[in-house]
A and B are shown apart, each in its own frame.
Chain A
Amino acid sequence: MRKFNHKDLLGMGQLSVDDIQLILDTADSFKDISSREIKKVPTLRGKSIVNFFYEASTRTRTSFEVAAKRLSADTFSLSASTSSMVKGETLIDTGRNLQAMSPDVIVIRHSSSGAPHLLAKGVKACVVNAGDGINEHPTQALLDLYTIRERKGRIRGLNIAIIGDIAHSRVARSNMIGLTKMGARVTIGGPPTMIPLGMEAFGVEVVPDPREAIGDKDVVMMLRIQLERQRRTLFPSLREYSAAFGLDSEALKSAKPDCVIMHPGPINRGVEISSELADSPASLILDQVANGVAVRMAILYLLIGGSKADAVDKERAAG
């Protein structure tokens, strides 16, 4: 019986190849729940999950909420504006207050890198990192891995390009760690101002020119340009960015014929990806959203439910 031996899910760095496989396999068994008529199993009945979103993100929060509800857990949401964070309460204080409600899981999204690590030290509940600063977004990477495996049948040996603002992207960081761990060859590209020093730490190849980076790829992952986070001048204009670094069908010609396109969303249409490509059969953008629920169900389940074997058992009992 395979076990998930972690109290928290803080980043892809902490997961072994076996851990990742276990999560993806568990997600497989949860995926068809979402296609049933009654999309709910009693697996986590009586458990409570707090969604603590210090930084707004409707997508990720909704995905976690749906995942929790499908497992019959109770969910509570706490956002920065409703919490006492605004009154100067520290993260540790907030963690203690949350702990007083004895939740089983705290899902945290925070604008500071390392905030989930700090919270995890202070609470008994399992902490799931739903995105911290520019550090990691492990559940997004796991759903990306799941989506790639679903479409391509494997991850090992695939050529994958990640293009855009690498320096400020937690999605890129988590994916670089997860994909290389699972045996993919990862190439990154983007404006030189958005490629940080020390990329060798991730075991990826850096090819600044995106045309070159796309060449011969099985998967091209485009990153969102965080318009709201560009405090500094990293590129002169959106027009120039999209001309030099955006993906359109012309640029995609150098990739493999069956190359698929991914994007963590929400897309700035016409900036990172042309509208036409975003809606084409090569686009996995909507699969990513759908798979997000199954992967997050798997994570919640593995943290507070048990092993994969009884996941399936309980599911059968429920069905």
Chain B
Amino acid sequence: MLWIKNGQLVDPVQGVIEQVDLIIEEGVVTHLPPRGVFKPEGDQIEVIDAAGKMIVPGLLDMHVHLREPGFEYKETIATGTLAALAGGFTGLACMPNTAPPNDCRAVTEFILKKAEMAGFAKVYPIAAISVGQKGEVLTEFGDLKEAGAVAVSDDGFPVASSELMRRALEYGRYHGLMVISHSEDRTLSGDGVMHEGVVSTRIGLAGIPDAAEDIMVYREISLARLTGCPVHIAHVSTANSVELIRRAKEENLPVTAETAPHYFSLDHNALRGYDTNAKVNPPLRALKDVSAIKRGLADGVIDAIASDHAPHSILEKEIEFDKAAFGLIGLQTTLPLTLALVREGVLGLPEAIAKLSLRPSRILGLEGGQLKVGSIADLAVIDPDIEYEFKAADVLSKSKNSPFIGKVLKGRNDLTLMGGKVVWRSMS
């Protein structure tokens, strides 16, 4: 029996914070007595004192690149899932752009096997939409679903053919697989390396216009309207996309969306010194976009927050800006950056936690995202007030490509439990 006492339980379902203790037996939450009521009997009780801490359901990161198979020098399933635990995530969904890509049962099973061997966070593979992520032929959704895929996406290789995307939505709904869209018109983003605007003009880098995203978001919404099938928009970065999704939701179309913490924490000014760690796709946008993303989060237009954790080794980052790879790591910074939104008053704490747990779980059709009597005890104990400098040495991923290294962050995951067992504990 495990007794977590004196903490504040964040309930994303009810949207409240409760002063309750958690009693966990055989990996399951069995009682939630009000604080101070529980009187332990016997000595077989393990106690965790969570005074001043938040207890939240284990977080689910619905957009992670684990790089294995194929790019183990950037990240492995083991290092990525350990970093996830450190960040408060007990589960993550991994994108298929590996080598080979996850476009067949064998790769999906390989990923699940590796994750099981590592024994850290749970892994939910996202399979490719098209064979080889080439945008030509649909993968075998049925077989992939059976093997354990929870969604399909050609993330990193936007589906150029509207016809193929339409078929993916129709076929995906039939198999109960969410289609996740990396919305980018490649003919428009071209060889751009950052947001097209004042800063790209000023520092002489080829720009990616916001329209490259907006056009594809509009297409996905049109296809959702045409087919009635659900679609999920990954990493929303522009004000126009937020507006389009808002209108789609007002129309009750089955459209959901996520954004990543860097899109509400940084703008394109972060690139003025050619920091390749801030080079991401979609790119960091203008201040008006950052404000629109926050508004979209506040009023529920954007359902979820995902890290889009994209590790790259120093080989791909410590080079000329236009040659550097797109992507930053986010598993350990997503929680503190999201908590900053709570302090800013953008989100209430339960809603912030919902965007990191309940909502992504619902979008992918997974259990989890809540802690009630009977729930599996996958949870995180968070210290919301601790301030610390985020150091390269703190990074558990194999790659250290984060623009937040050296920055002072507030709020941190202290303890992660899976099935009622402590699987990660912060050093201090």
Contacts and interface: CB of A to CB of B under 8 A. Distances in A.
Interface of A: 90-92, 110, 112-115, 117-118, 132-136, 167, 170, 173, 196-202, 231-232
B274 A197 contact: no
Contacts of A90: 315, 318-319
Nearest to A13: B202
Contact of B200 (A132, A196, A200): A196
Contact of B320 (A110, A170, A231): A110
Contacts of B205: 113-114, 133-135
A97 to B, nearest CB: 15
Given A118-B274, A232-B190, A197 B320 contact: no
Contacts of B201: 167, 196-199, 201-202
Contact of A197 (B196, B203, B319, B321): B196
A12 B333 CA distance: 36
B320 A91 contact: yes
B204 A198 contact: no
Contacts of B196: 196-197
B322 interface: yes
Interface string B275-296: 0000000000000000000000
Q: Which 4 A-B residue pairs are closest in the complex by CB-CB distance?
A: A135-B204, A198-B198, A112-B320, A114-B274
Given A133-B205, A134-B206, A197-B207, A117 B198 contact: no
A114 B320 contact: yes
A92 B207 contact: no
B320 A115 contact: yes
B206 A117 contact: no
A196 B195 CA distance: 12
A177 B39 CA distance: 73
Nearest to A232: B190
Interface string B311-347: 0000100111111000000000000000000000000
Contacts of B156: none
Given A118-B321, A201-B201, 14 more contacts: A91-B320, A113-B204, A113-B321, A114-B322, A133-B322, A134-B205, A196-B200, A197-B196, A197-B201, A197-B207, A197-B209, A198-B199, A198-B200, A202-B202
Contacts of B190: 232
Given A91-B319, A91-B320, A133-B322, A113 B199 contact: no
B273 interface: yes
B318 A201 contact: no
Given A114-B274, A197-B198, A170 B318 contact: no
Nearest to A113: B204
Contacts of A200: 198
Nearest to B273: A117
Given A117-B273, A173-B204, A197-B207, A112 B197 contact: no
7 contacts: A113-B322, A114-B203, A114-B274, A134-B204, A136-B204, A197-B201, A202-B202
Interface residues of B, number: 24
Nearest to B315: A90
Interface of B: 190-191, 196-207, 209, 273-274, 315, 318-323
Nearest to A166: B201
Contact of A113 (B209, B273, B274, B315): B274
A133 B207 CA distance: 13
Contacts of B197: 197-198
B316 to A, nearest CB: 10
Nearest to A174: B204
Contacts of B191: 231
Nearest to A90: B319
A110 B321 CA distance: 12
A155 B378 CA distance: 69
Given A91-B319, A113-B322, A201 B198 contact: yes
Contacts of B198: 197-198, 200-201
Contacts of B206: 134
A110 B320 CA distance: 9
A113, A135, A200, A201 interface centre (most CB from chain B within 10 Å): A113
A137 B352 CA distance: 47
A110 B323 CA distance: 12
A113 B271 CA distance: 12
Contacts of A231: 191
B294 to A, nearest CB: 22
Nearest to A200: B198
B204 A132 contact: yes
A135 B190 CA distance: 18
A118 B204 contact: no
A232 B207 CA distance: 14
A180 B63 CA distance: 46
B246 to A, nearest CB: 25
B196, B199, B322 interface centre (most CB from chain A within 10 Å): B322
Contacts of B315: 90
A92 B318 CA distance: 8
A201 B200 CA distance: 10
A134 B193 CA distance: 13
